Amino acid sequence: KPTYRHDYRPPAYRVRHTELRFDLEPGATRVRARLHVERHPERQAGEPLVLDGEQLLLTSIAIDGQALAEAEYALSDTGLTVLRPPERFLLDTEVEISPRENTALEGLYLSNGMYCTQCEAEGFRRITYYPDRPDVMATFSTTVVGDKATLPVLLSNGNPVERGELPDGRHFVTWDDPFPKPSYLFALVAGDLQKVEDRFTTMSGRDVTLQIWVEKANLGKTDHAMASLKRAMQWDEQTYGREYDLDLFMIVAVDDFNMGAMENKGLNIFNTAAVLTHPHTATDATFQRVEGIVAHEYFHNWSGNRVTCRDWFQLSLKEGFTVFRDQCFSADVNSAPVKRIEDVAFFRTAQFAEDAGPTAHPVRPDHYIEIGNFYTLTIYEKGAEVVRMLCNLVGWEAFRRGSDLYFERFDGQAVTIEDFVDCMAEASGLDLSQFMLWYSQAGTPEIDAHGEYDYANAEYRLTLRQRTPATPDQPEKLALHIPIRMGLVGTKSGRDLALTLDGKPLDRDGVIHLREAEQTFVFTDVPEAPVPSLLRGFSAPVQLRFPYGREDLAFLLANDSDGFNRWDAGQRLAMLALDDLIAAHRNGVEKVMDPRVVEAFRALLERGSKDKAVMAEMLTLPSEAYIAEQQPLVDVEAIHAARTFVEQSLAAALSDDFLRLYEENRSDIPYAPTPEQIGQRSLKNVALSYLMAIEDEQAVALAHQQFEADHNMTDVRHALTLLVHSSRDDLADPALRAFGEKWAHEPLVMDQWFAIQVTRPQTDALERVRYLMGHPAFSLKNPNRVRALVGTFANQNRINFHRTDGEGYRLLTDVVIELNRLNPEIAARLVTPLTRWQRFDEPRQELMKGELERIRAEKLSPNVYEVIEKALAQ
Ligand code: ARG
Ligand code: ZN
């Protein structure tokens, strides 16, 4: 069953050119394929030609015009083998498929009457027989035939070269894609769509037409995506020297989509949730997410499409690099420190959890059963952290030279992670061999640090010990090369001290290199006792522990020159207080708020900050999920109680400051998703959250007012959430009803409406989920609805999902079992919270394992099978 990386062999045959013709019918679409095939020069003659194919009905097959006899090929559930093909030939096949029956949303399917495709990773094999692997690259010519009245728009990759009318009210368009590509980048869209058009002139003067295709009702929601696309195109030219290469770039928005979006050559397909925005329907967070995803998919045109992956083990080659590129883009066009804080806060919660659980895997895995399960936080986000470390290690200039070399040397090829890192080594002259371990070792490295100031000798000794915990099939780990950006902040001066290490000034960036299991760094000429500021900007994806006292943390919160570490000091300080309160809760002792935390927050509020978005982040307590990640055993109730207690204590002690903050940051200027406005709204809304934590009349009135004022979705959604999460149903119910009625026709807003209700801390949350699953706006067939209702509940409503009666687990299991049949990829993702059973107390472990067993008893898709087996093997 599993595929192993070390089994890689080049394909026996290559496809030089692919001609496709689709006759679209919901229940019986005919696909004709003509492949121009030739033997791979490195492989001997006479080997069979192996084509992938699933759920296809073969109606004809011929080589060079001659129909094949039954003895000349073999058919199976997973493909077709031509036993003795010639050296060079044309292979013609015709198959029938049923887009209407396709609920997995892989291959060709129907979404709201519109045909669309998702081929990455292995969806093309559900369209036609083909060597469906990324190292087979061909130019494509695609003819799409469909009913003219219902499918007026027919799209595929590249440029339209011919169109015309056919009998019976049908018409066709032929598309040519001149760039050789693997099958996973193929795309087709057909439907009753409308477009918004714009232009972009590239740096070399190519005039590119930009189109965003949507259903008519969504025509007013494309401005931000279009503006983001143009910014991204310009940024990639300026930053990486990368220019767009076709005359046409299209984006299509579809309702039913498993992921965020897909970078098909010249024809990006997007989940509506990842592209549509309007001030009245989308929040600031959505505006920023759309900007990032539009850029991400566009950047793939080079990092992914022009240079692609040799095999799927190299997935992070394109994804890690492209996420790094989109993160840098978003940092450049928004508030850079906030972008970093948000990314790291998410990473340390979700990726750390993945790395510590049964599905932990390296950035480049060694084996998989179902590649669809490997579109993970580790491949994407940890992969991006690894590229970021590379960039910091070699420096931007060498990184850019390495990137130029990579794109030049491998243009039009399918390559490996070594190929990429080798370019960086060549461009910088650095030895990156130890660094490569980041790609092969799973698990989050832990660094235990401690330091000593030697007053007499004016020395500071910093000792770092690294250790990576065992992960499934990797019991032993080697020491990694870990770049640690740091400073020593003088306790008298409050400033960064000049750092001298081994008699030399430390480089400007203040990076020390940890390469051994344990290393001591001795800084000399340290004139005053310092507090170390370690891992600035989160310079490596590690868990770093240092025995900071609360005074140290309050000091860093006030004085650190690194904005990221200022924020992190606040988080660490809050964590210390939370730890005490969690223990108090567990021991049944009365909870007492640490006054030092209150004073640190008071000081923060009084000092203020130029960057309001950073300030908002600093005032935000660690999430329950993050707190849980920091505990040896997760105590769901204690975490919830402790965090609520801190929030209420801060609110009570600092209510005047929060009120002032709220008033100062109110504004009724017209909505724009600018970094300034977003920062201001975040800060105002954080203040409102604190005020509502104690639910006094004044706070309730403000929340109500903000909801009623209906100024933009960010403010309305925030106010509605506070009302719905309050203890008063007389506030929650009317607001929910009004909102639900107003937005019944907008699926993406209804997703918010679902999510807000099912994150309620009240005990009725689970019953609401069950009830809402019967709501007319809900459908198990739509991944956005499933994520909004069930995914949000299981991942974000911890106290209710982890109910001690096991009802939360049962509900999730019921849904996973149904989705296993309908949409295995979504099912395998949704089950994640249950796979983390080892983190909980004994009774919960038993309940969770019981549900996993219940899933295992089903006839499982490979996706769900792989995850369940790993989870139960622990
Ligand atoms: N390459 C796409 C992106 O990162 C995601 C495709 C995911 N496909 C899948 N079957 N999981 O933008
Ligand atoms: Zn991607």
Question: What DSSP string describes 492-509?
Answer: TT-SBPP-EETTEEPPTT
Q: Which of 215, 297, 319, 825 is catalytic?
A: 297
Residue 307 has phi, psi (to 5 degrees) of -115, 120
Per-residue model confidence (pLDDT) at position 76: 98
Per-residue model confidence (pLDDT) at position 464: 98
Query: What does the alpha-carbon distance between residue 651 and residue 658 come to, in Å, rounded to a whole number?
Result: 8
Q: Is 372 in the pocket of ligand 1 (CB under 6 A)?
A: yes
Burial of 608 (0-12, 13-18, 19+ CB in 10 A): exposed
Tell me what percent of the residues of the chain surpass a pLDDT of 70.
100
**Mean pLDDT, to the nearest integer, of 754-763?**
97
Q: Which of 301, 316, 370, 375 to mutate to test the pocket of ligand 1 (most atoms within 8 A of CB)?
A: 375
Distance 318 CA to ligand 2 centre (A): 7
Q: Is 262 in the pocket of ligand 1 (CB under 6 A)?
A: yes
Q: Is 297 a catalytic residue?
A: yes
Q: From the alpha carbon of 261, which atom of ligand 1 is closest?
A: 12
pLDDT of residue 555 exceeding 80: yes
User: What's the pLDDT band for 608 if we cut at 50, 70, 90?
Assistant: confident
User: What's the pLDDT band for 324 if we cut at 50, 70, 90?
Assistant: very high
pLDDT of residue 613 exceeding 80: yes
Query: What does the alpha-carbon distance between residue 786 and residue 837 come to, in Å, rounded to a whole number?
Result: 22
Q: From the alpha carbon of 106, which atom of ligand 1 is closest?
A: 10
**Mean pLDDT, to the nearest integer, of 239-251?**
98
Q: In sequence order, what are the residues at sequence separation of 6 or more whose Cβ sits closer than 8 angstroms to the Cβ of residue 727?
A: 695, 762
Q: Is 568 in the pocket of ligand 1 (CB under 6 A)?
A: no
Q: In sequence order, what are the residues at sequence separation of 6 or more whose Cβ sits closer than 8 angstroms to the Cβ of residue 544?
A: 446, 447, 449, 484, 534, 535
Per-residue model confidence (pLDDT) at position 822: 98
Three-class SS state of 751: helix
**Mean pLDDT, to the nearest integer, of 842-861?**
98
Q: How far from each other are the two terminal CA atoms of the chain, in whole angstroms?
A: 20
Q: Is 255 in the pocket of ligand 1 (CB under 6 A)?
A: no
Query: What does the alpha-carbon distance between residue 304 and residue 263 come to, in Å, rounded to a whole number?
Result: 8
The complex's ipTM? 0.98
Per-residue model confidence (pLDDT) at position 250: 99
- 431-445 per-position pLDDT tens digit: 999 999 999 999 999
User: What's the pLDDT band for 192 if we cut at 50, 70, 90?
Assistant: very high
Per-residue model confidence (pLDDT) at position 768: 98
Q: From the alpha carbon of 304, which atom of ligand 1 is closest?
A: 1
Per-residue model confidence (pLDDT) at position 271: 98
Per-residue model confidence (pLDDT) at position 609: 85
**Counting every residue, how long is the chain?**
874
Tell me what percent of the residues of the chain surpass a pLDDT of 90.
99
pLDDT of residue 610 exceeding 90: no
Ligand nearest to the CA of 261: 1
Lowest mean pLDDT among 217-226, 235-244, 368-377, 502-511: 502-511
**Mean pLDDT, to the nearest integer, of 47-62?**
98
Query: What does the alpha-carbon distance between residue 106 and residue 117 come to, in Å, rounded to a whole number?
Result: 7
Per-residue model confidence (pLDDT) at position 611: 92
Say if strands 207-214 and 248-254 run parallel, antiparallel, or are unpaired: parallel
Distance 546 CA to ligand 1 centre (A): 38
pLDDT of residue 507 exceeding 90: no
Helix (H) or strand (E) holding 800: helix 798-801
Per-residue model confidence (pLDDT) at position 508: 77
Q: Is 624 in the pocket of ligand 1 (CB under 6 A)?
A: no
pLDDT of residue 231 exceeding 90: yes
Q: Is 56 in the pocket of ligand 1 (CB under 6 A)?
A: no
Structure tokens at 159: 């440029």
User: What's the pLDDT band for 874 if we cut at 50, 70, 90?
Assistant: confident
Distance 13 CA to ligand 1 centre (A): 26
Q: Which of 185, 262, 379 to mutate to test the pocket of ligand 1 (most atoms within 8 A of CB)?
A: 262
Could you give the maximum distance between any two Cα atoms of the chain, in Å? 95
Q: Is 319 in the pocket of ligand 1 (CB under 6 A)?
A: yes
